[in-house]
Each structure stands twice: as C-alpha cells, then as structure tokens.
A = this chain, B = another copy of it.
Amino acid sequence: MRHNLHPATPPRLLSYAAVGGAWERQGPLGEKFDYCATDDRFGCATWEEAEAQMSRFALSFALKKAGLNASALDLLAAGDLENQCVASSRGFSPLGIPFLGLFGACSTMIEGLIVATLALGGARELETAAVVTSSHNCAAERQFRTPLEYGAQRTPTAQWTATAAGAVLLGKSGRGPQVTAARIGRIVDGGVTDAANMGAAMAPAAADTLLSFLREEDAMPECILTGDLGREGSDLLCELLAKEGVELRPRHRDGGCLLYDFKTQDVHSGGSGCGCIASVLAADILPRLEAGELSSVLAVGTGALMSPDSLKQGASISGVAHAVRIEK
C-alpha cells in the first residue's frame, strides 16, 4: 500500500526566487521574475556555464529575500537536465553547502521539495534547506536534439525548454506557506517513443499520481499546477482524469502553458525543462498563495525519463510525476 505523505511538522517556505532568460522576460510572467537576462549567456562563455550561473543567481535571490547567507543552509537539493547534472554541480561548487544531487527531469523541483520536506522531518539537525533546479534552452537543444545553429524544424507537439531557474528555501519554522502533503510518483511508461511529444509521454504518470493523491484526500486543492505537460499533455491529462470522473479543467494550470504567450511566442506546445515549473512556482503561484489569492496548490512535477542514447536505441520514454500540496 502506497500512501500520500503528511509531514508531522509541515515545513515552511521561507522564500523563493525565479531567474529567466530573454525569451522568458517577454512572456506573461516576465515582470514577476526576480531577474531576467537580456542575453542568455549570462556573461559566461558557454550555455552550460550560463545555466550554472543562472542557478546561483536564483539561490542568491532566495537567500537575500530570506535574509540568510549560504552558510545558513543545512542542505541543498538540486538538479537539472544537463548530462550528469553538471549545471548544478558547477553552479554550487563554490558554496560549500551539503549537497544532494537529484534527477527527475522536469519533475526535479517537486522531487526536491519532497526530499527537503522528508529531510527536515527526518533529521533534527537540519533546520533549513534549499531546492534549486534549472534548464537552459540552448544547452538542452544541443544535448537532446540538435545545436540551434542547425535550424531544425520542430513539430507542433514539441515543447520549448525554458531558460530558467527556480529556488525555494524551506525551514522548520517561519511564517510562509507550508508543505502539508506529498506523493512520490512511480514510473509509468505509456510506450511513447517520440521525443517531440513529451507531453504524451508524461500525461499517464501525471494522471496516476494525481488520481492516487486525490483518492486519499477529502478536499480538492484550489489549484492543480502540473509542470510541464504543455498543451498536448494537459489535454491528455484532463481526458484521462475525465474518464475517471474527475473534472480537472476549472482548477488546472500547467507551468508550460503559463510561462509563454502562445499568441506572440512560437513555443509550439509550451514550455518544459527543470526550470519551467520551478520558475512558474516561484514567480507566480507561490506569491499568489502568499497574497491570499490562492489557498492551496497541488504542484505536480512531471518528468520524461529518457536520454539521447535511449531514444536512439528505440527505448520508450517513461514518465514520472511527484506531487506536493502547499497551503497558506
């Protein structure tokens, strides 16, 4: 029997921050980011180093908002899409914070919030934890698909890897919103092999985690934020849940659909990447929760578990989805 997890002492969100690139600046949430670059290089020589820089920026903003130094952090859980998660290890190498590396593809922010919640509950020595995740469009494209310079055509179901990073600080005490429940997802493989349709690959995992979570709770969260299914995956998720008698649409939002303006920004099916739901949470959803515009959010991070090599070998793309409920 698997269960939703309910922390005995729900941790508090101390602060959060979002950093993005030039394209994210032009999106509907651009003004809400703590910082958006005008040049996606972030002053670095490579896209990969730029992603590391962006992660550091996001953590720095969150620390500043909480009035803390990096030395106050007992734990940093972080991850990204680069091979061997080097954006995180390069980004945080200088800071000297106890570090847990995570890989959950685009679900990594939510995976990190669960790990941090469990860590704060499971060790009396830990008081404060940070979770940071990032993605960079140019680093991801050349790693997973083709370098941007090739000008490859994208299919309508393809998603746009966000150039963004999000950071969330959690503590055992404080006054911020609380993580009151969580569910660790299981891997679900729907047999999708098209890396240009990750929404379809992840929707079954999102449906599995969401239905399992809702069955064990009495109240429906006011907002259900998935990230990042895009338009294609969001439609599929809503269809899958409708079949089970759950009408999701009125309360459903998707990070990949919130980050860009579909009318003016050609992102096809929407945003994706470890930085997408992370930055949407930090720039938009959590501030609205704190301001009282929302009372409870179920954030469902969805990840497509694949590599360029597994795709070439014909392996299907598994999905995983983790959920945390955050309440004011």
Contact = CB atoms under 8 A, between A and B. Distances in A.
Interface stretch (A158-166, A252-260, A300-308): A300-308
Interface in A112-161: 114-115, 117-126, 143
B98 A101 contact: no
B121 A318 contact: no
Contacts of A5: 123, 125-126
A186 B97 contact: yes
A309 to B, nearest CB: 6
Contacts of A38: none
A118 B114 CA distance: 11
Given A49-B313, A309-B83, A309-B143, A187 B99 contact: yes
A308 B122 contact: no
Contacts of A96: 186-187
Contacts of A3: 74, 125
Contacts of A117: 122
B86 A124 contact: no
Contact of A186 (B98, B115, B185, B310): B98
A215 interface: no
Nearest to A74: B2
A6 interface: yes
A184 B45 CA distance: 31
A84 B86 contact: no
Nearest to A316: B93
A25 B79 CA distance: 35
A186 B100 CA distance: 9
A84 B312 CA distance: 14
Interface stretch (A102-110, A261-269, A277-285): A102-110
Contacts of A92: 187
Nearest to A142: B309
A150 to B, nearest CB: 17
B99 A102 contact: no
Given A4-B125, A318-B89, A99 B185 contact: yes
A82 interface: yes
A75 interface: yes
Interface in A46-66: 46, 48-49
Interface in A293-328: 303, 305-310, 313, 315, 318, 320
A125 B6 contact: yes
A307 B87 CA distance: 10
Nearest to A187: B93
A123 B125 contact: no
Contacts of A221: none
Given A123-B121, A125-B3, A308 B184 contact: no
A109 B138 CA distance: 32
| A111, A126, A183, A307: residue with the most chain B Cβ atoms closer than 10 Å | A307
Nearest to A11: B122
A34 interface: no
B118 A83 contact: no
Q: Across chains A and B, which 7 residue pairs bring their CB atoms closest together, nearest first?
A: A122-B122, A121-B122, A89-B305, A98-B184, A118-B122, A84-B307, A3-B125
